[in-house]
Amino acid sequence: MSRVIPFRRVPVIIEKRALPSGVCAHRRIRLEPHGGVVTCVDCNATLAPFWALSMLSEQYSLAMSQIERLTTRLSLADARVLELSAELDAFARKESPSNPSSTEP
């Protein structure tokens, strides 16, 4: 009989230190197809492939979070446009002289 021990989730936090100004963050990388060498396009430094993969993963997560936030904002904006359109239509119907309900006797 096996026994399962539950573990609580613990987020992995990678300590990041701010780079001094003027130091390249190596955000644009070049992959050399021969030899598996990774270099920075901006400063031409040779980078550790694992570091490059980690940086790309982090950038991908940031981009996905940004897309999620923008998608949410777009949905809220669409809903607001629909609300305002409905209010405008109701206002136009009330003010229209061709509308029999708004004509005076």
From 42, 68, 78, 87, residue interacting with Zn ion (rule: CB under 5 A): 42
Using CA atoms, how far apart are residues 30 and 78, in angstroms rounded to an integer?
40
Q: Give the count of residues interacting with Zn ion (CB under 5 A).
A: 5
43 binds Zn ion (CB under 5 A): yes
DSSP string, 66-84: HHHHHHHHHHHHHHHHHHH
Using CA atoms, how far apart are residues 53 and 97, in angstroms rounded to an integer?
67
Distance of closest approach, residue 39 Cβ to Zn ion, in angstroms: 8
Element (H, E) at 59: helix 49-95
Task: CB nearer to Zn ion: give 43 or 82.
Answer: 43
52 binds Zn ion (CB under 5 A): no
Task: CB nearer to Zn ion: give 54 or 102.
Answer: 54
Q: What is the DSSP letter of 101?
A: G
83 binds Zn ion (CB under 5 A): no
Chain contacts with Zn ion (rule: CB under 5 A): 24, 26, 40, 42-43
